[in-house]
Amino acid sequence: MTAMRRFLASGWLSTYAFLYVVFLYLPVIFLPIFSVNSAATPKFPLSGFTLKWYEDLPRTPALLDAAWNSLVVGVSASILSTVLGILAARSITRYRYPGRRAINGLIMAPLVLPEIIVAISMLLVILQLGLSLSLFTIVLGHVLICIPYSMTVLTAGFEGFDRSLEEASADLGESAFGTFRRVTLPMVAPAIISSLLVCFTISLDEFIIAFFLTGTEATLPIYIWGQLRFASKLPGVLALGTLLLAASFLLMTIAEILRRRAARRTQNEGGLHA
């Protein structure tokens, strides 16, 4: 009730907050609206409900290939970046050593660099080494930009983790690996799954790096980019876009729920045993 009263008391601020959320969501909502509209151009008034644009999707081989490529790239990138993220997050939260902040800064740097800089610099090196561009090179790029997000999720999950639990396990005769597997891992599992989901979503939606580092194979965003040149293909793109939006939304919601559970778990159980 106090929350409600405070919400109402804040007057113009809450009105602004409401308008802001509308501003954030409104553009995105037009995609699903026009994806079920029977007209081929997205304009008002709406001409009628149809699902034909969705029905056409599974009949497009190029799209199915792109979806498969996205899945392969997304799964590989999310696993690799989460493994590298676990090592780094564990090191950052558990140990103190010189250069720790500088290394952390370097690992987080892709977060604030223009993606085109990351993309062209990797492209130059790959071409210089004479490697051919493929899905593998996209994975390399995606891992680089996913690690900062993975680190953010994981350090939050690892912090507040009670070290005395691990020490107790070691005192009771567990090996370092046994302690990690039986004590540490169960505590941080939600954060790890959350990191996997976040990284998969980023990879699934990422365009610039994939665009520069791809050979002949397309991921879904590259496929969409190619289709945007043809006005007649727009409804199909809107339908595909709606499915991608729904996937991102779903994955991020699960990731958020797990992230919160992870935070609660490390805090509560740490508190219980302290």
Partner 1 sequence: MTAAAEGSPTFGTTRARRNALLQSEPVQGFALISPTFLYALVLLVLPILVVVAHSFWTQNYLTIDRTFTLENYRVALTEPIYRDLLWRSLYISLMVSFFTVVLAYPIAYFISFHGGRHKSLWLFLITIPFWTSYLLRVMSWKVILGYNGVLNSGLMGLGVIDEPSTALLYNSSAVIITLTHAWAAFAILPIFVSLEKIDRTLVEAAKDLGDGPIRSFLRVTLPLSTPGIISAALIVMIPTVGDYVTPKLVGGKDGVMIANAIQAQFGKASNWPLGAALSVTTMLIVTLMAGATVLIIRAAQRLAR
Q: Which of 141, 112, 115 is nearest to 126 (CA)?
A: 141
d(CA 14, CA 212): 43
* Residue 112 contacts partner 1 per CB under 8 A: yes
* Residue 241 contacts partner 1 per CB under 8 A: yes
* Residue 47 contacts partner 1 per CB under 8 A: no
The answer to whether 162 and 273 have CB atoms below 8 angstroms apart is yes
User: Which residues 65-104 are close enough to bind partner 1 by CB under 8 A?
Assistant: 84-85, 87-88, 90-92, 94-100, 103
* Residue 62 contacts partner 1 per CB under 8 A: no
d(CA 107, CA 103): 6
d(CA 151, CA 191): 10
Residue in 62, 64, 124, 185 binding partner 1, rule: CB under 8 A: 124
* Residue 42 contacts partner 1 per CB under 8 A: yes
* Residue 190 contacts partner 1 per CB under 8 A: no
User: Which phi and psi (to 5°) does residue 138 adopt?
Assistant: -65, -45
User: Which residues 126-185 are close enough to bind partner 1 by CB under 8 A?
Assistant: 128, 140-141, 143-144, 147
Quote the Cα angle for 84-89-90, to 5°.
Answer: 100
Candidate ranges 52-60, 159-167, 184-192, 198-206; the one touching partner 1 (CB under 8 A): 198-206
Cβ of residue 168: shortest distance to partner 1, in angstroms? 18
